[in-house]
Amino acid sequence: MENKENNKFLGEEKISKLLLKFSIPCILSLLISSLYNVVDQIFIGHSNLGYLGNTATGIVYPITIIAVAFAWCFGDGSAAYLSLCQGRNDTKNAHKGIGNSILVTLIISIIFLILGLIFQDNLLYLFGASDKSIDLARDYFIIILLAIPVYMVANSMNAVIRADGSPKFSMIATASGAIVNIILDPIFIFNLNLGIKGAAYATIIGQIVSLIVTIIYYTRTKTFKLSFESFRIDLGILKNILKLGISTFITQMSIVIISLVCNIMLATYGSKSKYGADIPIAVIGIAMKVFSIVINIVVGIILGAQPILGYNFGAKNISRVKKTFKIVCLMTILIGLIATMVFELCPNVIINIFGSSESLYVEFAVLTFRLFLMLVTFTCLIKVCSIFFQDIGEPFKATIASLSRDLICFVPLVIILPKFMGIKGVLIAAPIADVIGIIITIILVVKFFKNIESPSVSKSNDTALLKDSKPGVIITISRTHGSQGKAIGQLVAQKLNIPCYYKEMISLAAKESGLDKDFVSNINNSKDILHDLYLTTEPVKYAIEAQEKVIKMIADKGSCVLIGRASDYVLRDNPKVVKIFIYAPTDYRVKNIIEMYNDSPSKAVKNIEKSDKNRAKYYEIISGKSWTNPENYDLCLDSSIGKEKTAEIICDYIKKLK
């Protein structure tokens, strides 16, 4: 009942009120995390290091993003895995997923540390260091590198805190480190005269504080408890975590690629210009970190809209989805335009915050803010639309929207344009990529809204009801596509004179949750290429929770047959459950599919492969187990002996149990 009321709240409460409630904490959390990247630049810029100090941090920054990519991959992956385990009440594997994630992150961080020590100069030169900046970059990098295990483990563990239902504590852990960094920066840089090393020391001490606060939380978690067993490597669990976190890894690595290519081109063509190699890298580093503040505000807004969009999309309340999306886009445009006005009309105000008054530095900084960030509004909209697609269960579209601007457009442009325009080509590449990226994104959005169903097409309030039954066994039927498992289940129910639930489960789940019946029905038939990620999106989670609740309600009514929907796993703790798996040879199933749907033989084979793959993936996400593993079932039957005979065998088996 509580879930139903929460869903009703998301479907009926005023959208602006919901956005204020959900978005403000997200914005604050993201802005606090931005401080780590900005504070060092400000204090270094006002020290005697000048722009060369900021050049050094700009060189090191993308290298640390590689570390973050691995940390967030396993952190977000284990957080998603924890959410799945929570949904299926799997306390056995939840802590293992988190422990394995922490251990692997630590191992990778040590490897990263060793490789960084061995190849430090190679890496620094690769990411744009010059003979002028290499010493400062090396001083900063070596200190940051020595603390990289702390940084990576803290980032990985922090994601799990949010999944454990404590987003405020997650923010506190990040904020505590940022505040320590802010306090120590001026002390170390100016008072102790440690220069760039002082900035690095302040950063790593802040990271240590964040890790300590995070570890404190892990001693009083809500849904899991770590033990020595948690850190025993389980390759199966790690595989699932990697699948769930890979999109985060790809996104972060795309930032690395962009930064690498951009720094190389800035160093190459900057050295041929009056600005030299170091000024452009310093300025772009500052511009990107200022831009991160803007992007984090709009990302916070769309992340706050996530539960609203997810639930209403699942309920096929498309008008409410459109309204929420429209409000988010208008807010994004407003923030983007304000930022653009500041960048275009008074870039010197921002530049002065970061120190250094050298004329060439200021000249290039003004040029950068006015050209490179010219269409920041488009960049923000692209990011918002990408996250929107994630929120409503379209991870493939989300990936296309996200990567089209950065990897498909910006990287080639930043390589090609400087050949004709010199250093300005690097700056012009960004707005051109923004234009192409926004066109691609608009096409995706318009096509998506054009193709989705009208909210009036399918309603959940039909006549499906829980049926009266008698005490006895609950029979669950799992079946491969074309094996006639549904018909066999219905025959079994008829012979035993008990209710059979198939589509009725879907209707009841839709009625219980307020979601659309067709949406619930199709959650294990996604056409999305990134099917694993689709099954972990918000609207699908709502549907899965509703289904599981209804399956347990049906089982409480008495003896029945339940067909599909991983009902055997949902009722795994019910002693009255008998779990059946129906399969058959491919030729037999192809023949049945042709008869039922009038498919061609080749199309029947494809449909069987696709359906079985989707059912297996759905079962794996729900249970963490293999769908076809006979150990999961009490009885596995080849239905090619005939559906009547198969049904008789099941009935005889049930009678013997009595």
Mean pLDDT of 390-395: 76
Q: What is the mean pLDDT of residues 435-463?
A: 74
Over 80: is that where the pLDDT of 73 sits? Answer: yes
* pLDDT value of residue 201: 94
The answer to whether the CB of 62 falls within 8 A of the CB of 260 is yes
3-12, 229-238, 396-405, 578-587: least confidently modelled range: 3-12
What pLDDT is stored for residue 343 in this prediction? 93
* Highest-confidence segment of 304-318, 355-369, 461-475, 637-651: 637-651
Q: The tokens of 626 are what? A: 């293999």
Lowest-pLDDT range of 224-238, 502-516, 599-613, 644-658: 502-516
pLDDT(381) > 50: yes
Least confident interval from 48-62, 192-206, 364-378: 48-62
Q: In what order do the strands lie in the sheet with 577-583?
A: 500-501, 560-563, 474-479, 577-583, 635-638
- In this prediction, residue 5 carries a pLDDT of 44
Phi-psi region for residue 393, left (φ > 0), alpha (ψ -120 to 50) or beta? left
Range name among 30-44, 154-168, 368-382, 621-635 with the lowest pLDDT average = 30-44
Higher pLDDT, 294 or 304: 294
Tens-place pLDDT, residues 496-516: 999 999 888 888 877 776 777
Whether 1 shows a pLDDT value over 60: the answer reads no
| Top-confidence residue, 173 or 622 | 173
Angle, helices 50-87/235-270, rounded to nearest 10 degrees: 160
Q: What is the pLDDT of residue 598?
A: 85
- The pLDDT mean for the chain works out to 85
pLDDT of 257 strictly over 70: yes
The DSSP code for 307 is H
- Give the residue with greater pLDDT, 636 vs 43: 636
Q: Is 242 a residue whose pLDDT tops 90?
A: no
- What percentage of the chain exceeds 90 in pLDDT? 39
The one-letter amino acid code at 279 reads I
pLDDT for position 356: 66
> Is the pLDDT assigned to residue 462 strictly greater than 70?
no
| Rounded mean pLDDT, 162-182 | 84
Cα radius of gyration (the chain): 28
pLDDT at 382: 93
DSSP string over 635-646? EEEEGGG-HHHH
Which pLDDT score is estimated for 528? 52
What pLDDT does 44 receive?
84
With a cut of 80, say whether residue 395 has pLDDT above it: no
Give the separation between CA 505 and CA 551, rounded to whole angstroms.
7
- Quote the pLDDT of residue 580: 95
Percent of the residues in the chain that have a pLDDT greater than 70, as a whole number: 93
Q: Which of 110-124, 153-167, 299-313, 455-469 tops mean pLDDT?
A: 110-124
Contact 625, 632 (CB under 8 A): yes
Q: To 5 degrees, how large is the angle CA 52–CA 54–CA 57?
A: 115
Is 111's pLDDT higher than 90? yes
Q: What pLDDT, on the 0 to 100 scale, is given for residue 152?
A: 93
Residue 430: band (very low, low, confident or very high) from pLDDT cuts 50, 70, 90: very high
* Region of residue 17 (left: phi > 0; alpha: psi -120 to 50; beta: else): alpha
CA trace torsion 254, 256, 259, 264 (10° rounding): -110
> Mean of the pLDDT values across residues 15-22?
82
pLDDT reported for residue 4: 43
Q: Given a cut of 70, is residue 411 above it in pLDDT?
A: yes
Which residues, including other chains, have CB under 8 Å from residue 398's CB and lie 6 or more apart?
A: 247, 386, 387, 388, 389, 390
Burial class (CB in 10 A: 0-12, 13-18, 19+), 598: exposed
pLDDT of residue 14: 82
| Res. 11 pLDDT band, cuts 50 70 90 | confident
Give the span between the Cα atoms of 609 and 604, in whole angstroms. Answer: 9
pLDDT of residue 308: 84
**Domains located in the chain, CATH noted:** 38-249 (no CATH), 271-457 (no CATH), 474-657 (3.40.50.300)
What's the whole-number mean pLDDT along residues 56-80? 87
Range with lowest mean pLDDT among 145-149, 324-328, 530-534, 576-580: 530-534
pTM score of the predicted model? 0.75
pLDDT of residue 436: 94
Q: Where are the alpha helices (DSSP H) in 271-391?
A: 278-304, 306-314, 318-345, 347-353, 359-371, 376-391
**pLDDT top residue among 599 and 150:** 150
Amino acid occupying residue 653? Y
pLDDT > 50? residue 456: no
CA-wise closest residue to 509 among 497, 522, 498, 499: 522
Classify 466 as helix, strand or coil: coil
Distance CA 575, CA 90 (A): 18
